[in-house]
Chain A
Amino acid sequence: MKALSRIYNFLVFAFLYAPIAVMIVYSFNGIKSRSVLEGFSLQWYQELFHDSVIMKSLYTSLLLAVLSAIISTIIGTAAAVGINASRGIRKKIYLAVNNIPMVNPDIVTAVSMMILFVFVFSTLNKFEMGFGTLLIAHITFCIPYVILEVLPKIKGMDSNIYNAALDLGCPPIKSFIKVVLPQIKPGIVTGLIMAFTLSLDDFIISYFNSGSTVQTLSVTIFSMTKKPYSPKINALSTLLFTAILILLLIINLPKDKNSVKKKGAKK
């Protein structure tokens, strides 16, 4: 039974990683072919770094992800605190609205935002889609996920400490920063990371809401898939894969150490 489940797990992981392995192997291909492997070269990596379109869209994507993660985390965290404190119908409405972007298929969210922008811009005959619309769209779909992460942390918090701070004469805002924030920090950090990755990974919403001047990396990749094949796309994904792998290792290693430490302390 155990051997069987091992084999099964192996097969599923083989399925998950097969395309990634193919991409990595072909990124070192000596010739420009999607089927034949011949020789080893790093030329596609070189070309990748000289491709101004890809580099520019990578920059756009990163900037967009950072900005939308920060802004949505601020709005989301504040909202989570407020939502947690509200009661009754008000709270229900907040939660329902918050659910909309998560429940809706991406394409519906994308299209509805596009309608909004086109409608407003054409009635005003001013502005055009670009970085601003992308940022707005990304913040909008990131906020609910931040709230999803932060809200349970606030719920689980001991509100007595906050009240005690108030009773001791600490002004609400100060006691919020000094007492509440440290307690919900883990939730905020997860929310921030999640917003960052969601924004970086998004294609559909960016596809409908980017104008003529800016393209995110996903949109650029999509246009590359429609053009004649270039192994640059493989080189790019290999680099992304390595970066993500390293990032995940960094994020996960200190966590392990902490848990080990905690265990030790308990003893």
Chain B
Amino acid sequence: MNKSDTRLKRIMTAPFSVWMAIFVIVPIGLVLYYAFTSSEGGFTLENIASIWEYRGTYLISIELALVATVICLLMAYPLAYSISKMKARRQQTMVLLVMLPMWMNFLIRTYAWMTILEDTGLINTFIKFLLSLVGYEFEGFTMINTNGAIVLGMVYNFLPYMVLPIYTVLTKIDRSVIEAARDLGAGGMDVFTRVILPQSVPGIISGITMVFVPAVSTFVISKLLGGGMTYLIGDIIENYFLGNTGEVNYNVGAALSLVLMVLILISMGIMNHFDEDAETNGGGLF
């Protein structure tokens, strides 16, 4: 490698290094700084300690996100599997159909669910109408403003993030391996559990992270579909930074974000451990 080459390399990465240092590293440093200082500026562990008060919120956020992730996985796998078995042209169309809703503003899509789920919404009106035909008076289900509605919103918004990586991995499975398994006498179920499923693990894992991370940190879905009844960790962070409850406290907010970040890093670490021997990353979205 000659000298001018090294220089060129440096020049190429220079804007990136400077940019990322200032707008990624320094901000995270500032989050750390704020998390460990009081509003007067002295070092304190109080912010971190005060997080104990929010353990319930962390738990409910993780719980709802986990439930949404599992439902996504259960819904997405069969879909991805059946798409991967279609003809190439059809596959392309189907993938496009899965992606299309994602390209729309997610606020608008979530907002539309309100119309569907409300007490006077489409589902309830429809059921009431049907039952009134047989002369039965029905009070309607309460669907909106519950934790169930929040989970539904998460599943709805993040389902494509689960389908696409699984699909990508499934299409990469070598057909000849499946055929070989068949030739060696493996039944349909055996082929699935012993060949296809293990090979799709990287896709599943990247799908899980892509659903879980945005789900656990959301504050919009809980606001729109949860009616302000359940606060998720995202809502608390938003409150501390934008002060809708009256108190703006960057320090506690930074501590909360820090813990969220660490939680996610830990779970990513565990995930990557599972993913260790698969060198392909689960396939991008596009």
Contact = CB atoms under 8 A, between A and B. Distances in A.
Q: Do chains A and B touch in the complex (CB under 8 A)?
A: yes
Interface of A: 5, 8-9, 12-13, 15-20, 22-23, 26, 34-35, 75-76, 78-79, 81-83, 85-86, 94, 97-98, 100-101, 103-108, 111-116, 118-119, 136-137, 139-140, 143, 148-149, 172-173, 176, 190, 193-194, 197, 201, 203-204, 208, 217-218, 221-222, 225, 233-234, 236-237, 240-241, 244-245, 248, 252
B214 interface: yes
Contacts of A103: 213, 264-265, 268
B192 interface: no
Given A201-B106, A237-B105, A105 B31 contact: no
Nearest to A114: B241
B100 interface: yes
B120 interface: yes
B116 A18 contact: yes
Contacts of A76: 16
Contacts of B105: 201, 203, 217-218, 221, 237, 240
B187 to A, nearest CB: 14
| A-B complex: 8 closest residue pairs judged by Cβ atoms | A79-B16, A82-B13, A105-B217, A19-B112, A112-B27, A82-B12, A237-B108, A5-B82
Contacts of B19: 75, 139-140, 143
Given A78-B15, A140-B24, A20 B101 contact: yes
Given A113-B23, A225-B107, A17 B101 contact: yes
- Contact-residue bracket for chain B: 35 or more
A248 B103 contact: yes
A221 B110 CA distance: 11
A15 to B, nearest CB: 7
B59 to A, nearest CB: 17
Given A8-B82, A83-B13, A108 B96 contact: no
Interface in B1-58: 4-5, 8-13, 15-17, 19-20, 23-28, 30-31, 34
Contact of A143 (B12, B20, B238, B250): B20
B27 A105 contact: no
B264 A105 contact: yes
A8 B78 contact: yes
B156 A35 contact: no
A203 B24 contact: no
A107 B15 contact: no
A97 B25 contact: yes
B135 interface: no
Contacts of A201: 103, 105-106
